[in-house]
Amino acid sequence: MGDEEPQWTPKRVTGADADADAGTVLRRVRERAGLTVYQAAEASRISKAVLSRTERGERPARVTELLPLAAAYQMTAAELAAAVAADPAVQAAAME
């Protein structure tokens, strides 16, 4: 009993660091798709201001924004979410 490893318990990710890390990933994905912020806003029907603030980490990315962003970036919402979740900085924020 005393030799058991403690179980990892996921914590709610909050704070500016997590938002900034996720925003950085979203910006990289958009750039890989070859889109400007303006083009991504047009394609996703999410305002340029909202996209810019999200990419800068000034506001969190909302789940409801994943599907239109993914479509704009020609990927699935699951692929977009996986790209964010796989980022080492996002993972580190989740472990804090």
Q: pTM for this one? A: 0.78
Burial class (CB in 10 A: 0-12, 13-18, 19+), 26: buried
Q: Which two tokens stand for residue 47?
A: 């305002």
Between CA 73 and CA 55 the distance in angstroms is 14
- Higher-pLDDT residue of 6 and 51 is 51
Residues 6+ apart with CB under 8 A from 74: 33
DSSP 45-75: T--HHHHHHHHTTSSPPPHHHHHHHHHHTTS
Share of the chain above pLDDT 70, in %: 81
The full set of domain ranges for the chain reads 16-95
CATH match for 16-95 among 3.40.30.10, 3.40.50.10470, 1.10.260.40, 2.60.40.10:
1.10.260.40
